[in-house]
Amino acid sequence: MGKTNGDTGSHPDFWNDPVHQNHFETDMDGLKNADTIVMLLPAGLAAHMEAGASFGFGKKMILIGEVEKPETLYLMFDERYPDIESFLETI
C-alpha cells in the first residue's frame, strides 16, 4: 500500500489488522442496514465520514446540534434541529 495520511495510533500495522477490518465491516453493515442516521454535534471526523457514506446509501439523515462552521455538504441532512429537545418534540 502507498503512503498514507492518518494517525494509526500505537498500532504498527493498522491497515492490515483483521480486528480493524472487522470493526470497519461491522460499522458499514450497520450503516447499510439502518433506516435513519442521526448525527449529534459536536461530532468527530469519523462521524462525518459515516454521514457521507450514509448519504451515499440513500439513508434518511437527521442532524442535531449547532453547526460551528457551515459547509454546503451539511445540506445532505433531511432534517436539522438546533438541540436534542427540539428533535424530541417531533417524535
User: CB 74: neighbour CB atoms within 10 A?
Assistant: 16
Per-residue pLDDT of 34-72, as tens digits, reads 999 999 999 999 999 999 999 999 999 999 999 999 999
How many other C-beta atoms are found inside a 10 Å radius of the C-beta of residue 63?
A: 23
State how far the Cα of 4 lies from the Cα of 22, in Å rounded to an integer.
20
**Cα–Cα distances in angstroms (integers) from residue 43 to residues 47, 51, 80, in the given order:** 6, 10, 15
Cα torsion 10, 13, 14, 19: sign:
negative
Q: Taking residues 17-38, report their average pLDDT.
A: 96
64 near 89, Cβ under 8 Å?
A: no
pLDDT given for residue 2 in this prediction = 47
> Tell me, what's the pLDDT at 14?
84
